[in-house]
Amino acid sequence: MFMDNILNHIGKTPLVHLDNLSQELKINVYAKMESMNPGKSLKDRSSKNILLQALKRKLINTKTTVIESSSGNMAIGLARVCSLLGLKFIAVVDPNINSQTLKILQLYGAHIEMVSVTDGTGSYLNTRLKRVQTLLSSIPNSYTTNQYSNPDNPQAHRHIFKEIKADLGHSPDYLFTAVSTCGSVRGILDEIAVNQDKTKVIAVDAEGSLIFSDQVKTRYIPGMGASRKPDFDITQSLYAHQLVSEQETIAGCYQLLKLECILAGGSTGAQVAALMKRAPTLEPGADVCMIVADDGERYLDTIYDTEWVKRKIDKK
């Protein structure tokens, strides 16, 4: 009998050579299309692996309520897996969430906990994390997937690098990737370390995020950056990091759309912006990978809405 479900189609995403961007930058740029996962982001990998491992270790059962703080993508991944496994799911989100993401979460049956107070850094992450703790202490048989420090999060992303290497036939010279929990970059770095690959990893972060800097700034684009230091240690093994402003992020999104017809989310635009800044320092012809972390359709009312950009970003 044919046995299948949508979770079996997470991962093994395409690797695309970006001809026009490559020509412009005189390097070989490849995009790992994580936006082509069923939930349209790289967080499908984290949510599937964390929940399946938790089930295997009997940390959760069919009566468990799963709770997670998310800027959107992780919540979508978890909502789908929870729905398939028959688990209750509470997504703790904040007002920067895209309206489409909110609607999708509701359609998957997630319960939404919306925080409203910023955490003193112009962002909501610490408020969300406090709300998770409050919910955990008040709901019996509740469990947080805790994407911020759960080792099954980076573990899931080791496959991203394995797949890139298999498709290219060798390890790339450079890999650019956007960071928030730093789970995906940690997994990629772990995979590189195990095989002693030559790939140099450049983490791309938002200006105003506290991952690499201590200068906070209000940010409106979800998915990238954090208003706290990450639990996953990445500084030792990174080649470099690149900060990008929200204006540059949006310009990067439009650049990718114009040159490659790829409508991507903010963190991907930030990687394009980081690539443009760093390309003159890279060897001509170098193989450079970037991660298309999510799809742009969820940003039609924000990044791709000129009125929103004028109101929120240009006025900063």
Ligand X SMILES: Cc1ncc(COP(=O)(O)O)c(C=O)c1O
Residue given tokens 């990067």 in the structure block? 252
**CB 233 → ligand X: shortest distance, Å?**
13
Quote the CA–CA distance of 198 and 216 in Å, as a whole number: 33
Tokens of 63: 């009566």
Is 293 a residue that touches ligand X (CB under 6 A)? yes
Q: Which of 180, 209, 255, 302 binds ligand X (CB under 6 A)?
A: 180
Q: Which of 54, 182, 206, 303 binds ligand X (CB under 6 A)?
A: 182
Q: Which of 27, 51, 74, 250 binds ligand X (CB under 6 A)?
A: 74
**CB 270 → ligand X: shortest distance, Å?**
8
**CB 267 → ligand X: shortest distance, Å?**
3
Q: Which of 73, 127, 249, 255 binds ligand X (CB under 6 A)?
A: 73
**CB 105 → ligand X: shortest distance, Å?**
14
Is 178 a residue that touches ligand X (CB under 6 A)? yes
Of the pair 172, 183, the CB lying nearest ligand X is at 183
Quote the CA–CA distance of 130 and 79 in Å, as a whole number: 21
Is 22 a residue that touches ligand X (CB under 6 A)? no
Is 152 a residue that touches ligand X (CB under 6 A)? no
**CB 185 → ligand X: shortest distance, Å?**
6
Is 223 a residue that touches ligand X (CB under 6 A)? yes
Is 69 a residue that touches ligand X (CB under 6 A)? no
